[in-house]
Amino acid sequence: MTDTKITLPESEIPRAFYNIAPDLPTPLPPPLHPGTRQPIGPQDLAAIFPQGLIAQEMSQERWVDIPDQVRDIYRLYRPSPVYRARAFEELLDTPAHIYYKSEHVSPVGSHKLNSAIMQAWMNKEEGVKRLATETGAGQWGSALSCACQLIGLECMVYMVRVSYDQKPYRRIMIRSYGAEVVPSPSPLTHQGRAVLARDPDSPGSLGIAISEAVEDAATRDDTNYALGSVLNHVVLHQTIIGQEAKKQMELAGEYPDIVIGCHGGGSNFAGLAFPFLKDKLDGTRPGLRAVAAEPLACPSLTQGRREYDFGDTGGTTPLMMMHTLGHDFMPRPVHAGGLRYHGSSPLVSHLLDAGLVEAEAYPQGEVFATAVKFARCEGTFPAPESAHAIHSAVQHALKARDAGTPTVILFNLSGHGLFDLAAYESYLTGKMDLNA
Amino acid sequence: MTDTKITLPESEIPRAFYNIAPDLPTPLPPPLHPGTRQPIGPQDLAAIFPQGLIAQEMSQERWVDIPDQVRDIYRLYRPSPVYRARAFEELLDTPAHIYYKSEHVSPVGSHKLNSAIMQAWMNKEEGVKRLATETGAGQWGSALSCACQLIGLECMVYMVRVSYDQKPYRRIMIRSYGAEVVPSPSPLTHQGRAVLARDPDSPGSLGIAISEAVEDAATRDDTNYALGSVLNHVVLHQTIIGQEAKKQMELAGEYPDIVIGCHGGGSNFAGLAFPFLKDKLDGTRPGLRAVAAEPLACPSLTQGRREYDFGDTGGTTPLMMMHTLGHDFMPRPVHAGGLRYHGSSPLVSHLLDAGLVEAEAYPQGEVFATAVKFARCEGTFPAPESAHAIHSAVQHALKARDAGTPTVILFNLSGHGLFDLAAYESYLTGKMDLNA
């Protein structure tokens, strides 16, 4: 039997992030100032981001160096293995070869740590003392609090109230890493108080929590803001996933026909897909398909319009050209909390419009049925978010079976579901809203 | 910077288990029949164990082959990395080099899966349809239910009631792997009903749950019993940990002065230590120290007597010569549920008596203080059980600092603490009984 895991030595941790911006067929429309509606410049972001990250956000350089100190921290869990899912292939009785990049092996359980470490490090370099952020399901909050602890920054997390109440383990993890975490909407910000005045029982949303964290950062000299997805520099940091995966697929002697990631804000999808899309954009691999899998409950790519919209509910962030359901959209409470975001990465949106990526949307009942099958074959419980990518992979593997076509599929297992077992119980005991 | 992780390719998954029995300075006293008090033979175990495991239990062969099919399943997560804990060394300001074997990377989160896979496979080979077992904190129950699902057996888990209630995620995990799980004491067995008759609110104990699982297996033709620690064959299976670690330490260019594992039933300690102890027993490494770290609340090695005792509370198992606190001992409810066992591995007990291993006991407050420090340096939350090994490593690292002695320490990170975050919260909010 050949190896189940394709591993790389630490020397193969990428030395640069891949920036897709200069390779786009047409330029990305710039973000606009929320007041003037004119393109923003670096100075407009300086109140909440360090110069280094602002430069990355706007960079047109194809390769952006990764500092050695950041690569050293990545050694804690990188390179992550690529798995061949043989037992899952057998269950599906498919000729497809199914591979997955295992980003769930990070200490916080997801890919989010990749960008958290880089963001914390660049803030620290510029003398920032404290970062403020939001978190939905808790993956990003865990990641940033871990990174801040490793690098030596204070951290403040506004956690969507419904997750704060339903996912106690995530908030305990955040506190254990030494960060402060409060349910959002909170009474600590104008934005939070405004929401609470309208609805004291508000369950909160990512959009509201973003408004709170941005206000916190904008109103304190010692504090910057950190976002876990959507923005160009976050997507940039995640491209280490796809760069490693390309080397690993080469070791496996295959090149994927289809790469798949789940899609909320876009960073794990883009992180895996963009280094492969580079080959499509330069004509080397014209047939490559890149698929973003999103929840039917929050279908920003498949049903949203591409237009300028705010990143937050309060309308305080720059306007971004992206697929959006509207910044006041309140998605149904599906268990994939990390995908409940009204908007999407401007880069992913741009590529979707250009026909270079595809999008699919699935109801959570189907997604959990796949998640349970996967866990029983591979041992690992996927996060509900990541299970969307697995479910898409299953559809393509079944098509390959029906067509009798050998197909190589690579998806991103962006996080584990160990803190989502209550959702699994809800599914297994028939209490889940399957069609949501 | 040198690598943080020392990895091995899948080809280095061990091909044989190391059996320490033939290398012991004096023979291990045999188990006795609970009725006759005479040494038992293979036939006495045949009602609940397959012949293959009984042969391993009594084997005097130094090396026991690992079937290729079992090695193929191990590929899901093995070889596990050895980490150099540099940030932790810096925090402790010690000249000691601290390494840890990361058994927490298995899909179920602990080393337990190593033996679960082998036990399930050998039962399947002999036509058994179903396994019954007990679980305390849930690590072993998760592992056996995962292994049974991977290999194609039914699985029944008697879970200590207090854990069943306090650790819902573990029981959901067990169910998600397709196993049945009931709180113990249960009304399903004579043993369970007898306990419930005396105390309807019994919180249960490992000893009671073992009695129930053994009864289940003994009274059903299609069912065997599986135990997660203590017995010789379980300890045998875990020696793949130490065998891998020896190769990894060789790659690091070091040999440990001290190897450390936490100690409940003994399997993770023995699994790491025995392959190193082989070098002490044959005179190659006379100075090697092997340290078992146990909770002060259940100090079987440091305060128990070595005598023949039952493995279960009901007094139905063979009598084993081991360090024990008495089979009716009820340990205080410390969070390291996996270490709350009255007895210990006969092999570990034998080596302790011979002066070849050492034992230390720590109160849980100290252990959690160390666990939080470790998580903040290394990112990973250790299981409360494993944190005992870390805490012992800290003591030896601090002694090395005070003495100015370079010391190489290797401990077993036998499991992660992601399902134990409520215990971390109890510690961080000052609600823990620190002296328990």
Q: How far apart are CA B54 and CA B271, in angstroms?
A: 19
User: End-to-end alpha-carbon separation of chain B, Å?
Assistant: 41
pLDDT of residue A313: 84
- Over pLDDT 90: what percentage of chain A? 92
| pLDDT band at B141; cut points 50, 70, 90 | very high
- For A22-46, b/e burial (b = at least 16 CB within 10 A) is eebeeebbebbebeeeeebeeebbe
Q: How far apart are CA A316 and CA A191, in angstroms?
A: 10
Q: Do A76 and B4 count as a contact with CB atoms less than 8 A apart?
A: yes
Q: Determine which of A2, A3, A4 to mutate to test the interface with B (most B C-beta atoms within 10 Å).
A: A4
pLDDT of residue B334: 87
Q: Tens digits of per-residue pLDDT, A34-70?
A: 999 999 999 999 999 999 999 999 999 999 999 999 9
Q: Tens digits of per-residue pLDDT, B212-251?
A: 999 999 999 999 999 999 999 999 999 999 999 999 999 9
pLDDT of residue B139: 94
Between helices B139-151 and B112-125, what is the axis angle to 10°? 40
Query: Does the pLDDT of residue A211 top 80, yes or no?
Result: yes
Q: Tens digits of per-residue pLDDT, A129-165?
A: 999 999 988 999 999 999 999 999 999 999 999 889 8
Domain B5-12+67-109+233-428 has CATH 3.40.50.1100: yes
Q: Do B422 and A376 count as a contact with CB atoms less than 8 A apart?
A: no
pLDDT of residue A241: 98
- Contact list in A for residue B251 (CB cut-off 8 A) is none
Q: A176 versus A330: which is more confidently predicted?
A: A176
CATH dotted code for A47-62+112-231: 3.40.50.1100
pLDDT of residue A375: 98
pLDDT of residue A48: 95
How many angstroms separate the CA of residue A37 from the nearest CA in chain B? 42
Query: Does the pLDDT of residue B340 top 80, yes or no?
Result: yes
Six-digit token string for B312: 């279960």
pLDDT of residue A288: 98
Please state the ipTM of this predicted complex.
Answer: 0.95
Cβ atoms of A80 and A238 within 8 Å: the answer is no
Mean pLDDT of A100-116: 98
Q: Determine which of B3, B6, B7 to mutate to test the interface with A (most A C-beta atoms within 10 Å).
A: B7
Q: Is B100 helix (H, G, I), strand (E, B) or coil?
A: strand
Q: State which residue of chain A sits closest to B368, comparing Cα positions.
A: A176
Query: Does the pLDDT of residue B1 top 70, yes or no?
Result: no
Q: pTM to 2 decimals? A: 0.96
- Contact list in A for residue B377 (CB cut-off 8 A) is 150
Mean pLDDT of B3-14: 96
Q: Do A175 and B10 count as a contact with CB atoms less than 8 A apart?
A: no
Return mean pLDDT, chain B: 96
Q: Do A422 and B77 count as a contact with CB atoms less than 8 A apart?
A: no
pLDDT of residue B16: 98
- Contact list in A for residue B169 (CB cut-off 8 A) is 169, 418-419, 421-422
Mean pLDDT of B394-421: 97
Mean pLDDT of B176-198: 97
How many angstroms separate the CA of residue A208 from the nearest CA in chain B? 27
How many angstroms separate the CA of residue A66 from the nearest CA in chain B? 15
Instruction: Return the domain boundaries, chain B.
Output: 5-12+67-109+233-428, 47-62+112-231
The DSSP string of A349-364 is HHHHHTTSSEEEEE-H
Query: Does the pLDDT of residue A2 top 90, yes or no?
Result: no
Q: State which residue of chain A sits closest to B143, comparing Cα positions.
A: A379
Query: Does the pLDDT of residue A1 top 70, yes or no?
Result: no
Query: Does the pLDDT of residue A331 top 90, yes or no?
Result: no
Q: Determine which of A173, A174, A372, A374 to mutate to test the interface with B (most B C-beta atoms within 10 Å).
A: A173
- Contact list in B for residue A378 (CB cut-off 8 A) is 76, 107
Q: Tens digits of per-residue pLDDT, B66-111?
A: 999 999 999 999 999 999 999 999 999 999 999 999 999 999 999 9
Mean pLDDT of B136-159: 96
Cβ atoms of A370 and A381 within 8 Å: the answer is no
**Which residues face A123 on adjacent strands?**
none
Mean pLDDT of A394-423: 96
The DSSP string of A289-333 is EEEEEEETTS-HHHH-EEEEEESSSSS-SPEEEEEES-TT-----
Of B105, B149, B418, the CB nearest to A418: B418
pLDDT of residue B364: 96
Cβ atoms of A265 and A238 within 8 Å: the answer is no
How many angstroms separate the CA of residue A62 from the nearest CA in chain B? 27
Cβ atoms of A242 and A273 within 8 Å: the answer is yes
pLDDT of residue A173: 97
Distances (CA, A) of B77 to A13, B8, B109, B111: 20, 11, 10, 10
Residue with tokens 């252990």: B367
Interface of A with B (CB under 8 A): 1, 3-5, 7, 9-10, 68, 72, 75-77, 87, 105-109, 113, 146, 149-150, 168-169, 172-173, 175-178, 372, 375-381, 418-419, 421-422, 424-425, 428
Q: Do A4 and B75 count as a contact with CB atoms less than 8 A apart?
A: yes
How many angstroms separate the CA of residue A198 from the nearest CA in chain B? 32
Return mean pLDDT, chain A: 96
Cβ atoms of B32 and B40 within 8 Å: the answer is yes
Q: How far apart are CA A80 and CA A412, in angstroms?
A: 11
pLDDT of residue B331: 86
Q: Do B168 and A372 count as a contact with CB atoms less than 8 A apart?
A: no
The CA-based angle A12-A14-A19, given to 5 degrees, is 155
- Contact list in B for residue A5 (CB cut-off 8 A) is 10, 75
Q: Which residue, among A132, A171, A149, has the nearest Cα to B429 in the 3D structure?
A: A171
Cβ atoms of A368 and A385 within 8 Å: the answer is no
Q: Tens digits of per-residue pLDDT, B313-331?
A: 888 899 999 999 999 898 8
